[in-house]
């Protein structure tokens, strides 16, 4: 299928010499993103593969943490974040039977895992960042969830003979070095017919179009891959997951992307001292994010897939 697609690709004046980092096919320069995380200006590009359709950041930077822990939240910010996390996993939770084993890979501070544990599921949390692991352990202290400091490549060791009824990859795929290898490992620990819940930034969103090279979610220092609906479907399909639902309408949208596209200096991962202001602005963007989501042009793609 991929080869047939290649034959029909027309030459483009923007055609780039860089081969797709995923499939090796020809690629096009999409844009030169603003890098707020310390990268040299103008050197980093986002290209899209003319073959598999995925977007990728070039060159690859190996010196930046995938997603450094954001500051701890309290008060109303923590309440809003918990409600958003619960909304984001609700479609998956509604599709699972009681007592299902759910693995949240790259779980961050464990907010989604907490929502899943509160609904009675057996939860395993996998997170590589030591600070996030500490916070997740605290958030999940009154649950039976297991919190493990590990990367996706260690998933098999953590799971042993257990097989997951569902795996959550919430804003994880865009960070991974080797998508194919990671999804193969996820597939190996998921039972036949088990579910996969995925969210990634949507490069086909209204925001990506409006903000162009200033769109927050390009995050070229940390995001290696940039998905639209077609490329996400293809990557999951090649890994043996059949997509049941893929939509820019999931959860509460992705309000932090809109907030930090408008006010990059308030991104707590760029400027930890402005964390409270940043999160307040992100909360204020929820209605706008919900509006774009309702129009089908939301800034994240939310997917439910099933292991075939
Ligand atoms: Zn490709």
CA of 19 to the centre of ligand 1 (A): 8
Highest mean predicted confidence (pLDDT) among 25-29, 76-80, 82-86, 261-265: 25-29
Q: Is the dihedral of CA 44, 267, 92, 290 positive or negative?
A: negative
**pLDDT, tens digit, for every residue of 154-171?**
999 999 999 999 999 999
CA of 265 to the centre of ligand 1 (A): 33
Quote the crossing angle between the two packed helices 111-118 and 75-95, to the nearest 10°: 60
CA of 224 to the centre of ligand 1 (A): 13
CA of 191 to the centre of ligand 1 (A): 28
CA of 231 to the centre of ligand 1 (A): 9
Give 59 or 66, the one with higher predicted confidence. 59
CA of 233 to the centre of ligand 1 (A): 13
Question: Is domain 75-198+233-307 given the CATH code 3.30.230.70 in the classification?
Answer: no
CA of 226 to the centre of ligand 1 (A): 11
**pLDDT, tens digit, for every residue of 92-111?**
999 999 999 999 999 998 99
42, 65, 177, 237 from 62: Cα distances, Å: 18, 8, 9, 28
Quote the crossing angle between the two packed helices 286-294 and 275-284, to the nearest 10°: 40
Q: Going by C-beta distance under 8 Å and a sequence separation of 6 or more, which residues neighbour residue 11? A: none
Q: Where are the alpha helices (DSSP H) in 170-274?
A: 179-188, 206-211, 229-238, 255-262
CA of 165 to the centre of ligand 1 (A): 30
Query: How many CB atoms lie under 10 A from the CB of residue 59?
Result: 12
**pLDDT, tens digit, for every residue of 121-145?**
999 999 999 999 999 999 999 999 9
Nearest to 167 by CA among 121, 229, 118: 121
CA of 51 to the centre of ligand 1 (A): 5
Q: Where are the beta strands (DSSP E) in the chain?
A: 15-16, 27-31, 45-49, 55-58, 101-105, 122-127, 146-149, 164-170, 190-201, 225-226, 241-247, 300-307
Confidence of residue 259 (pLDDT cuts 50, 70, 90): confident
Query: How many CB atoms lie under 10 A from the CB of residue 222?
Result: 18
Q: Three-state SS across 57-104?
A: EECCCCCCCCCCCCCCCCHHHHHHHHHHHHHHHHHHHHHCCCCCEEEE
CA of 247 to the centre of ligand 1 (A): 22
Residue 261 burial by CB count (10 A; 0-12/13-18/19+): exposed, middle or buried?
buried
CA of 1 to the centre of ligand 1 (A): 13
pLDDT of residue 94: 94
CA of 177 to the centre of ligand 1 (A): 14
- Report the C-alpha gap between 280 and 79 in whole angstroms: 12
CA of 14 to the centre of ligand 1 (A): 16
% of residues, the chain, pLDDT over 90:
53
CA of 57 to the centre of ligand 1 (A): 12
CA of 235 to the centre of ligand 1 (A): 10
CA of 52 to the centre of ligand 1 (A): 4
The mean pLDDT value for 9-35 works out to 76
pLDDT of residue 197: 96
CA of 30 to the centre of ligand 1 (A): 14
């Amino acid at each position: 299928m991929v080869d047939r697609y290649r034959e029909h690709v027309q030459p483009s004046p923007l055609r780039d010499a860089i081969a797709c980092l995923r499939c090796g096919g020809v690629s096009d320069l999409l844009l030169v993103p603003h890098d707020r995380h310390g990268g040299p200006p103008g050197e980093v590009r986002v290209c899209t593969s003319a073959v598999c359709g995925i977007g990728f950041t070039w060159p690859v930077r190996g010196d930046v943490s995938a997603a450094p822990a954001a500051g701890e939240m309290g008060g109303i910010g923590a309440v809003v974040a918990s409600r958003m996390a619960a909304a984001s996993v609700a479609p998956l939770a509604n599709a699972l039977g009681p007592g299902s084993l759910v693995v949240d890979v790259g779980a961050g501070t464990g907010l989604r895992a907490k929502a899943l544990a509160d609904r009675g599921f057996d939860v395993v949390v996998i997170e590589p960042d030591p600070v996030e692991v500490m916070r997740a352990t605290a958030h999940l202290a009154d649950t039976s969830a297991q919190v493990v400091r590990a990367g996706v490549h260690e998933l098999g060791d953590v799971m042993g003979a257990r097989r997951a009824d569902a795996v959550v990859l919430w804003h994880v795929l865009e960070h991974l070095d080797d998508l194919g290898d990671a999804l193969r490992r996820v597939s190996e620990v998921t039972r036949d017919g088990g579910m996969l819940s995925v969210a990634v930034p949507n490069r086909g969103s209204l925001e990506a179009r409006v903000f162009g090279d200033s769109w927050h979610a390009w995050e070229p220092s940390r995001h290696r891959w940039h998905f639209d609906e077609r490329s996400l479907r293809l990557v999951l399909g090649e890994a043996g997951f059949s997509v049941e639902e893929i939509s820019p309408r999931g959860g509460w949208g992705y309000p932090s992307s809109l907030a930090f596209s408008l006010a990059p200096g308030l991104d707590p991962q760029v400027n930890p001292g402005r964390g409270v202001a940043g999160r307040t602005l992100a909360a204020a963007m929820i209605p706008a994010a919900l509006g774009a989501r309702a129009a089908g042009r939301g800034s994240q793609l939310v997917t439910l897939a099933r292991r075939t």
